[in-house]
Structure formats: C-alpha cells, structure tokens
C-alpha cells in the first residue's frame, strides 16, 4: 500500500473498502457539523445514501454538478448552500462534483470533504477550472484543496470499464507532464512514477476482474499520487489542449485526456527525452508516446477525437485558441505543430513527433 505520509501533504487521506459507511465518524473528527452533499444528477442516489447515513447532520443533497464547472451552476449552488446553512460540502464523484465543491469554497469559508468515485485526482489539487460563455479558465489557490479525502474502493468497483480507463488515463496525464515540468522536484518525480506504475499494473487486473477490491484500491492509490503531483507542479501542452477542447467544444473531460495524452507526449518527447526516460524504462519502450498509445489501445480506450463528435473543421479554431497564452512547455508551441497534433488525434492515428 502506498504510504501517503512520506510525502508532504496538508490533507487528511484515508483508504478503505466500505469506508463511506463510517462517514459519520469522519465527520465528527473533522470539526464540521452540517455538510451539504454534492453530486451529479447521475449519482444522486449515492448522495441520498450518504444523507441517510448522516441523518439530521446532513444539510441536504444538491445534485446538479456538471462537467467543466459552469459558473451558473455554481451560482445556483451558492444560494442553496446559504439557504440550508451548511458549514461544509461533501463532494461525491469525480472532477465535476469536486470542482463544484471547490467553486463553493472559493466564495465562502466552508470546509470541503471529498469522496472520489473516479481517478481524476481533482480531490488532491488546489486547482479549479471553471467555464463561462464557452471559455474555460483555470486558477490555483491553496484554499481550494479539499481538507479531507476518503477513498472507498467499493465506490469504484462498479465504475464501468470505459470510465475506469479514461479516468485513469486522465490521472496518468498529470504524472507524465509532471516529469518535464519546469518546477519539478525529486518528490514530484517520485510521486509521478509511483502513480503511473500503480496504474500500469492495476488497470489490467481491474479489466480482468472489475470487482477486485485490492486492484481497485491500487488504482485509487495511483490516482492519489497523480492528483497530488498535479497540485505540486505546473502542467504544460497536454492540459492546455484538453482545457481548450473541453471548454470550446464541451467535450467529456476524461475521454479527451485519454485521446490527447500520447500525442502531446510525442510532441514534447524530443525536447524532454531525459526527463521522460524513467517512464519509458517503466514501459520497456524507446518510444514512450507509442507505448502510451499501445497501452491505451490494449485497454480499449478511445483514440480519436472524431468519435467524440469533433468535426475536422473545428481543429483550426482549437489550434488558434491553444496557442493563445500557452502554458510553459519544454518544446516551442506553434500553430502548425498543434494543428498537426490535433489532426492525428482527431483521426485516431498513431502519435508522431
């Protein structure tokens, strides 16, 4: 089991199958008394289950969390939060729900407890991405990192195979970019490699037996490591592209990350070969980008943006947006280079530098 205490971290983190059923005890030790439970519409029943566990302590359930954290949903949730006089939020879900929790914390002084049901890693970061009028912007503030994170392997044991894989590849993308981040540290590099190694070994086991709780917990440990490293160092081209695609075309977050990862890696590989070498060794490959693409394909992950409904005519506009205010990146970002990368990702072709 991954020892989270060996890494500098200001969160309380716990792992355990069935842990949610003891949530009332975690609430008592947290100092919070009246959490508002947040979910997406699809996970409302899980929110109601936790509300039943908490009984009178629950301030209610708000089940309108939406991907890319649109500001109009946040505004509605803020009104509800104040009406029910909640002193905290319990975000149950993936990046959409945890993002809403962060957005509420941004405007208030409430506490935040996260109960993740995917591997996205948002629960580990002080980062919030919000969408307004089709434009997604990202901000960082230490207060945005949830104070308590509870990982219950039972909650991901029934995660559909497709979502399991795309969510995990999304998490792995954080770690890949951490390896060549300009502000990388030895700790961040160790976390990134441990996180990807956890996924590399546990994902095939989960695909073989989705109900294997030990393998599922290993994937959650990978998610914690990859998410934590995302909160420690800056991201680069991969994340800029995914935020641009998601915000401008309203694409599903995890699937977009899964498709773009090998192509962004191929683009940066020539300029970051030394930093990426340990990961290439982990996969036993000289071409890391192709190894990531092959790994994703072996797990039946999506590989083409066109399959998400992206039109080829959209790519020029995305390339324009992605080259505006670019993130720091090991290789120079040009419109032609990004347009070529997007073309291969759109088609589902093998990655190419």
Residue ranges and CATH numbers for the domains of the chain are: 19-151 (3.40.50.1970), 174-347 (1.20.1090.10)
Q: How much is the average pLDDT of 304-324? A: 96
Strands in the chain per DSSP E: 12-15, 35-38, 60-62, 88-93, 111-116, 127-132, 135-140, 148-151
Looking at residue 136, its pLDDT comes to 83
Looking at residue 161, its pLDDT comes to 87
Looking at residue 5, its pLDDT comes to 58
Percent of the chain with pLDDT over 70: 97
Looking at residue 7, its pLDDT comes to 61
* Long-range CB contacts for residues 139-146, cutoff 8 Å, separation at least 24: 141/106, 142/10, 143/105, 143/106, 144/102, 144/105, 144/106, 145/10, 145/11, 145/231, 146/11, 146/91, 146/98, 146/101, 146/102, 146/112, 146/113, 146/114
Q: Which residue from 186, 179, 215, 184 is spatially nearest to 198, judged by alpha carbons?
A: 215
Tokens of 116: 């993740």
Q: What percentage of the chain's residues is helix, strand, coil (to nearest 5)?
A: 60, 10, 30
Looking at residue 253, its pLDDT comes to 87
Sheet arrangement for strand 60-62: 12-15, 148-151, 111-116, 88-93, 35-38, 60-62
Given pLDDT bands bounded at 50, 70 and 90, which one contains residue 276? very high
Quick: pLDDT tens for 56-113.
999 999 999 998 899 999 999 999 999 999 999 999 999 899 999 999 999 999 999 9
- Phi-psi label, residue 93: left if phi above 0, alpha if psi -120 to 50, beta otherwise: left
Looking at residue 154, its pLDDT comes to 96
Looking at residue 134, its pLDDT comes to 81
Q: Which residue from 249, 231, 238, 217 is spatially nearest to 188, judged by alpha carbons?
A: 231
Percent of the chain with pLDDT over 90: 85
Quick: pLDDT tens for 176-197.
999 999 999 999 999 999 999 9
Given pLDDT bands bounded at 50, 70 and 90, which one contains residue 2? low
Given pLDDT bands bounded at 50, 70 and 90, which one contains residue 247? confident
**pLDDT at position 293 over 90:** yes
Question: What's the angle, vertex CA 96, arms to CA 93 and CA 98, rounded to 5?
Answer: 60
DSSP-based three-state secondary structure for 92 = strand
Residue 84 CB neighbours (<10 A) = 13
Quick: pLDDT tens for 200-232.
999 999 999 999 999 999 999 999 999 999 889
Residue 140 CB neighbours (<10 A) = 12
Q: How much is the average pLDDT of 131-142? A: 88
Q: Which residue has the higher pLDDT, 114 or 161?
A: 114
Looking at residue 347, its pLDDT comes to 98
Spatial contact of 226 and 192, defined as CB atoms under 8 Å apart:
yes
Mean of all residue pLDDT scores within the chain: 94
**pLDDT at position 6 over 60:** no
Looking at residue 37, its pLDDT comes to 98
Query: Residue 29 contacts by C-beta under 8 Å, 6 or more apart in sequence?
Result: none
């Amino acid at each position: 089991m991954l020892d989270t205490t060996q890494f500098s971290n200001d969160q309380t983190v716990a792992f355990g199958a069935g842990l949610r059923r003891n949530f009332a005890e975690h609430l008592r030790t947290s100092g919070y008394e009246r959490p508002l439970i947040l979910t997406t519409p699809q996970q409302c029943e899980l929110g109601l289950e936790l509300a039943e566990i908490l009984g009178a302590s629950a301030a209610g359930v708000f089940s309108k969390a939406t991907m890319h954290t649109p500001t109009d949903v946040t505004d509605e949730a803020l009104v509800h939060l104040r009406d029910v006089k909640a002193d905290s939020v319990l975000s149950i879900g993936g990046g959409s729900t945890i993002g809403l929790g962060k957005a509420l914390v941004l405007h208030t002084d409430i506490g935040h407890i996260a109960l993740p049901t995917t591997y996205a890693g948002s629960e580990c970061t002080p980062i919030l991405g919000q969408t307004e009028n089709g434009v997604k912007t990202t901000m960082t503030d230490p207060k945005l990192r949830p104070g308590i994170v509870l990982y219950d392997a039972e909650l991901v044991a029934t995660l559909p195979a497709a979502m399991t894989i795309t969510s995990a590849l999304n998490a792995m993308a954080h770690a890949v970019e951490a390896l060549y981040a300009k502000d990388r540290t030895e700790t961040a590099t160790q976390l990134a490699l441990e996180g990807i190694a956890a996924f590399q070994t546990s994902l095939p086991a989960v695909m073989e037996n989705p109900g294997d709780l030990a393998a599922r917990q290993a994937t959650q440990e990978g998610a914690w490591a990859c998410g934590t490293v995302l909160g420690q160092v800056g991201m680069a081209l991969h994340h800029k592209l995914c935020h641009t695609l998601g915000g401008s075309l309203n694409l599903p977050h995890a699937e977009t990350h899964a498709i773009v990862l090998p192509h962004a890696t191929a683009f940066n590989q020539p300029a970051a070969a030394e930093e990426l070498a340990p990961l290439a060794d982990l996969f036993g490959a000289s071409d890391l980008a192709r190894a990531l693409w092959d790994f994703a394909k072996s797990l039946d992950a999506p590989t083409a943006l066109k399959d998400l409904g992206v039109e080829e005519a959209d790519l020029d506009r995305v390339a324009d947006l992605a080259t505006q205010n670019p993130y720091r990146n090991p290789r120079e970002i040009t419109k032609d280079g990004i347009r070529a990368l997007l073309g291969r990702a759109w088609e589902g072709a093998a990655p190419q530098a």
